[in-house]
Every structure is written in C-alpha cells, then in structure tokens.
Structure 1
Amino acid sequence: MEAHERDPYPDVTAAGGLVAALRQEAEARARDIGLSPHATEAVGMETRRGYLSVDTAGGERRFRLRTSIPDFGWDIGGTSDLGTLVDAIAAWREGVPLDALKARFDFLDLDAFTGALAAGEPTASQWAGLLSSAYYRPQRNLLHRLHADEVLRNAFPTMTHRAVRLQVDPMDHTSRQVLVEEPDEGHYSVVRVGVPGAEWTEVPGDRLITYLRTALDDDRPE
C-alpha cells in the first residue's frame, strides 16, 4: 500500500509502462487511439490534426497531451484519468470539432492551438524560416515566386532535397500536396504526392502558378 501511495501511476506500472497502459485502456473501452501495435516506448499517434503524444508528469498523477507536426507543437492539456484521456484521443482522431472537444473534455486547453491556426500558423512561420535560410539559398528564387502568390502562400512549405513541398493543410498529412523543383533556371518539374502513378511533369514557367493552384485544389476531382 505504501509503495502504491508513492507511485502516482500504479496502473501504468502494473501494465508494464505507459504504452501498454494506454493500449489496455483503449481495448477495454473499445476505442481506436491509433497506437501502433509495435510501439514500445515513444507514444505517438497519427491523426488528421497532427500527431498526438502523451507523457507523464513527475511527482503527481497527470497524463499530458500534446499535438504536433515537425518543428511545431502545442501542449493541449492534461488529466489524471487515463480513461478520459483515451476517450479524448479517440474523439480527436475521429475528427470531432475542436469546440465540441473542448466542451466535452474540460481538461483540454486548446486556446494556444486554435489561436495559432487562426493567426495562420504554423504556415507563416515556416515560410519565413525557409525564405531566410542560408541553407536553402539555391531554392530562394523558387520559394519567393511561390510565396508571392496569394493562394500558394497559404500552403504549408517544407523542403525535400531540392524540391519545395506544398501541402494544403499542415495538420492533415492526407491533404493534397505537391513537390516542385527548378532543376535549371526557369525550368520547373512538378509531381503530385500520394497519387498512384503520378510522375514528374515539366511545367513551363508561365504556367507554373496556375498548374500548382489546380493541383492543390481540394474541390477538384481526383
């Protein structure tokens, strides 16, 4: 009894660790939390609103929840109740609207996360970082050209080797995305990411912006 009183996570200890405890609780509640069956240490669950991760606070019972994409992350709350945590993760993965999530799970603090999205983050910060990076100087003309367009600047940019990756929604890894590179000055190649059979296509400079806008248009049929 004294040992359990000193351990704020007896259920986690008994299960053999945080991953095992989460998996057991999810199975008991028939919840899909997206936890890989091969996960043993790092707790990361892929969702259409970024990755969710869980860790534990020291000295007190508190499961802390965080959402992130590469280079950006937000702490979105913590709870002492493992079952409530599992329910919240499952609801997040199901795409429950953020305002409904906040109303249902009072431990969630989504103000920083929703405020960042409303302010155009993390897209604006990512563009600023790439445009000012000395490492990506060879791609700077292409980056500036893409960013100058009022539509394309709202896509989330990353670099993949020499190519610029534009993604419609930074929080949704399944959203439309393209790679565009400039192998020679004024010559461009584009490929749709995640489309079966898609190949690199040469695109004339005077058609580049229109081509990319069309490729990223979520309303057009596949």
Structure 2
Amino acid sequence: MDTHWKDLYPDVTAAGGLVSAMKEAAKLGRGEIWPVPSATDTIVIETARGLVSVVPATEERLFRVRVHIPGFTWDVPGFTWEIGSTDDLGLLVDAVAAWREGVPFDELAARFTFLELDEFARALERGEPTSSQWADLLSTEFHRRQWNLLRRLHTDEVLRHMFPTISHGAVRLRVDLFDGASRQVLVHELDGERYEVLAGELGAAWVEVQTGDLIAYLRAALNQQ
C-alpha cells in the first residue's frame, strides 16, 4: 500500500484494511454487513439484492459502491452497475447495511443522497427485474443486432421469464437472477436460420440449432440442467 493511498485513507490504514474498517464502523450501531475477506482492497457483501462491492478510488478519497449479479459458470462476467460513491466511511457502512437489511429504495434514496438508484434497481424492489431487463434490451440501439433473436425468445411464454443479458454478442438466459450457478443457456445467432447454443457444465460444446428447433431445444436444455 503506497503513501498516497495511506494519505487518502488514514482511517482504513489504521484499522488494518477496508474489511476491518467497515466492521469497526458497523459495530458503532450501523447494522451488520458481513464483508467477505478479499486479497485486494475491494470487498464484497452478500445480500438478497445481489452482491454489493465497495471499491476505493486511487486518485481521490472515494468509496465506489457497486451491485453485482453473478455471471455464468462458464467464465463469463456477470451484470454489474454502480449505485453511487462517497468519501464518508461511516455513511458508506450505513448505506450498505440498510441495503442489506432490505430498506425500501425510496427511503434509501432519501437517507443516502449519494446513492443513484436507477430504474433497474427500482425494478429489483418491485420484483420486476426480468421484465425491466427485457424492455431495456429490446429498446436499446446498442443491442440492435440482437433484437431479432431477443424478440424470438421473448415470444415464448417460458423463456420470457428467464433473465436476459448480452455477452459477447450472444444472448444469455438465466432462471435465477441472483444465482451464478442457476440453470442457464447462451444463444448466438449465426444467421437468420441457424443458431449456436451453449448449455450445461463448464467446458460444454456449442451446439448448432436450426431456427424451427430453437425454442424447443432451449426449453429442453434448461430442464435437463
């Protein structure tokens, strides 16, 4: 840990690291956070609203707060978004503890003005993250190349209830949003008539599937996991 970092975070340094500093702050009546030990300066807290991570900035004193939804078991990154940042360690711990305890988002936003709770975060609270994610992917120009595939998948009454994300141009569907090991499939469009599907355990091979068989194949693949 260099001198510049120590100057920015003297309280963290004195406590022996960010995990210890946050635990000490939590003991001052700020609730429970249970951070997971880490070899880096980043810490992670498991919550029912996803994994919350705290990342100290290196250029200035700032604790960046992010929420992460685990990725594939196939070494694919998860779904992460930043929900705010603060230079106040005590305020940070208060906010993380409140998030973990399930405090309503409107109350969180009122109590912790540094939090930026976007529409997706609020969809989590409403119990509608999947429908919100489908709507976002189907309306975002950045994902225009996947629109045809997304629409095809969304028309199915079973698949539209899977949580979708885009990974390296392919569409990923997962049964349980918060479980990285949940049943899931990855679909890549080769052309208008052929697709590649990846399902199953780590190291599974891509399987080519024709358009007419795609929906049935995906349903079967999800049921067999």
Q: TM-score range by the shorter chain?
A: 0.5 to 0.7
TM-score by length of 2: 0.59
Whole-Å separation in 2 of the counterparts to 1:67 and 1:151: 27
Whole-Å separation in 2 of the counterparts to 1:216 and 1:118: 26
SS in 2 for 1:136: helix
SS in 2 for 1:184: coil
2:166 to 155, 159, 163: 159
Contact 1:48 1:173 in 2 (8 A): no
* Residue 146 (str. 1) matches residue 149 (str. 2): no
Contact 2:66 2:82 in 1 (8 A): yes
User: What residue is the counterpart of 1:109 in the other structure?
Assistant: 103
Whole-Å separation in 2 of the counterparts to 1:140 and 1:198: 26
Q: Which amino acid aligns with 1:39?
A: T
Structure 1 alignment gaps of length 5 or more:
1-9, 26-30, 57-64, 93-101, 103-107
- CA RMSD across the alignment: 4.2
Q: Could you say which structure has the larger radius of gyration?
A: 1
2:37 to 35, 38, 51: 35
1:15-30 to 2 correspondences below 5 Å = 15-22=15-22
1:187 to 177, 180, 194: 194
Identity of aligned residues (%): 48
TM-score by length of 1: 0.60
1:1-222 to 2 correspondences below 5 Å = 14-22=14-22, 33-36=35-38, 38-40=39-41, 42-45=42-45, 50-53=50-53, 67-69=67-69, 70-71=79-80, 108-109=102-103, 116-117=123-124, 119-192=126-199, 195-217=201-223, 220=224, 222=225
Q: How far has the Cα of 1:51 moved from its partner?
A: 0.9
Whole-Å separation in 1 of the counterparts to 2:198 and 2:137: 21
The verdict on how the C-alpha distance between 1:156 and 1:73 changes in structure 2, with shifts beyond 3 A counting, is farther
Whole-Å separation in 2 of the counterparts to 1:73 and 1:123: 19
Contact 1:23 1:35 in 2 (8 A): no
The verdict on how the C-alpha distance between 1:110 and 1:14 changes in structure 2, with shifts beyond 3 A counting, is same
Q: Which amino acid aligns with 1:109?
A: V
Whole-Å separation in 2 of the counterparts to 1:185 and 1:126: 24
Aligned length: 178
Structure 2 alignment gaps of length 5 or more:
1-9, 26-32, 57-64, 70-78, 85-89, 107-119
Whole-Å separation in 2 of the counterparts to 1:166 and 1:125: 14
